């Protein structure tokens, strides 16, 4: 599916396609190709969510980071529990692949604890020539075909995730982070210390921190789908928060703004959040 938008603010194109069925359990949202031309620098707020983000940049470098943004081309972002920003000079072209933490563990070939709260250049974890090979393709379909072949090759050589970590991850995702860690340990028959160490090494955040990100992501989905004016207390409850002040504290900690400010900064056409 390809969508093209033109407005006085610029024009942008988005191409989305599901990955090969063997990769589908590991890739969130499918492959997302994007081309954006807005004529002026654009900064976005990238809030924490439950995926490992791989950016295959086919355009100019981006400034990426929190306190001291760094100029990067293609990169991988591990799990974060606070927002970072990205900024491009007015034009952007590339592909985003959001991997589940366990999928990233297999496809990138390293524990996600090594990438936790970090953004690293792509060539630190994947062969650098994949971006050049993608850039040489003339259509989104050809690029996505190449990605399928590349990632399937890595999947065939990958070791499966640890069963206990996979179970814990799936239970937290199924409950949107509402499952207590004590209950999770009881289901697994292990101690909190054991689970925290194994989960943090493989996924990137400890179970409690990962559950917090999942609850936050649940609220973001509700806000963006349903709007929030006058409904923040209801959305907080639906997202597993004690009350609206609890939600506001998490928003300030992870997004650096209030829920109302976040909604006001949403860019048109589903293009993210102004930074």
Residue 247 has a pLDDT of 84
Same-domain check for residues 145 and 207: no
Domain boundary among 156, 174, 208: 156
CATH number for the domain including 168?
1.10.10.60
Q: What is the pLDDT of residues 162-219, one digit of tens each?
A: 999 999 999 999 999 989 999 999 999 999 999 999 999 999 999 999 999 999 999 8
Cα separation, 191 vs 29, whole angstroms: 34
88 belongs to a structural domain: yes
Residue 25 has a pLDDT of 96
142 belongs to a structural domain: yes
17 belongs to a structural domain: yes
Cα separation, 60 vs 89, whole angstroms: 8
Averaged pLDDT score across all residues of the chain: 90
Domain boundary among 134, 156, 178: 156
Same-domain check for residues 24 and 69: yes
238 belongs to a structural domain: yes
What is the pLDDT averaged over residues 64-69?
83
Q: What is the pLDDT of residues 114-144, one digit of tens each?
A: 999 999 999 999 987 999 999 999 899 999 9
- The torsion angles phi and psi of 101, rounded to 5 degrees, stand at -55, -40
Domain boundary among 104, 137, 156: 156
Same-domain check for residues 225 and 135: no
275 belongs to a structural domain: no
240 belongs to a structural domain: yes
Residue 78 has a pLDDT of 95
Same-domain check for residues 262 and 243: yes
Same-domain check for residues 140 and 185: no
Contacts of 152 (CB under 8 A, 6+ apart): 20, 22, 23
Same-domain check for residues 257 and 174: yes
pTM value? 0.91
Same-domain check for residues 131 and 230: no
- Per the structure, the count of domains in the chain is 2
Residue 132 has a pLDDT of 94
Same-domain check for residues 14 and 144: yes
Same-domain check for residues 58 and 152: yes
Residue 230 has a pLDDT of 57
Q: What percent of the chain has pLDDT over 90?
A: 63
Going 271 to 221 to 2 to 56, the CA torsion angle's sign is positive
124 belongs to a structural domain: yes
Per-residue tokens: 21: 């069925």
Same-domain check for residues 185 and 93: no
pLDDT greater than 90 at residue 56: yes
Same-domain check for residues 229 and 185: yes
Enclosing domain of residue 144: 2-156
Task: Name the CA dihedral angle for 76, 79, 83, 84, rounded to a multiple of 10 degrees.
Answer: -20
CATH number for the domain including 97?
2.60.120.10
What is the pLDDT averaged over residues 39-60?
92
Contacts of 225 (CB under 8 A, 6+ apart): none
What is the pLDDT averaged over residues 220-243?
76
266 belongs to a structural domain: yes
Residue 8 has a pLDDT of 67
Same-domain check for residues 120 and 24: yes
Residue 268 has a pLDDT of 74
């Amino acid at each position: 599916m390809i969508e093209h938008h033109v407005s006085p603010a610029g024009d942008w194109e988005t191409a989305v396609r599901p990955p090969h069925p063997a990769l589908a359990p590991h890739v969130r949202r499918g492959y997302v190709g994007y081309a954006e031309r807005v004529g002026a620098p654009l900064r976005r707020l990238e809030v924490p969510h439950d995926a490992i983000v791989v950016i295959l940049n086919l355009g100019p470098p981006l400034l990426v980071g929190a306190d001291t943004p760094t100029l990067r081309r293609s990169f991988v972002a591990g799990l974060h529990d606070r927002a970072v920003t990205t900024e491009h000079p007015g034009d952007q072209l590339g592909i985003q692949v959001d991997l589940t933490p366990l999928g990233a563990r297999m496809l990138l070939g390293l524990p996600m604890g090594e990438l936790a709260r970090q953004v690293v250049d792509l060539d630190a974890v994947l062969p650098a020539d994949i971006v050049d090979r993608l850039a040489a393709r003339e259509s989104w379909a050809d690029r996505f075909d190449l990605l399928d072949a590349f990632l399937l090759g890595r999947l065939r050589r990958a070791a499966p995730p640890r069963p206990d970590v996979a179970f814990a991850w799936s239970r937290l995702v199924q409950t949107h982070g509402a499952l207590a860690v004590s209950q999770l340990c009881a289901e697994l028959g292990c101690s909190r210390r054991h689970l925290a160490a194994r989960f943090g090494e493989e996924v990137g955040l400890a179970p409690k921190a990962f559950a917090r990100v999942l609850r936050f992501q649940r609220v973001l989905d509700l806000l963006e789908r349903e709007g929030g004016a006058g409904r923040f207390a209801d959305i907080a409850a639906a997202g597993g928060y004690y009350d609206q002040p609890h939600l506001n504290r998490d928003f300030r900690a992870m997004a650096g703004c209030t829920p109302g400010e976040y909604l006001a900064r949403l860019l048109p056409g589903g293009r993210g959040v102004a930074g």
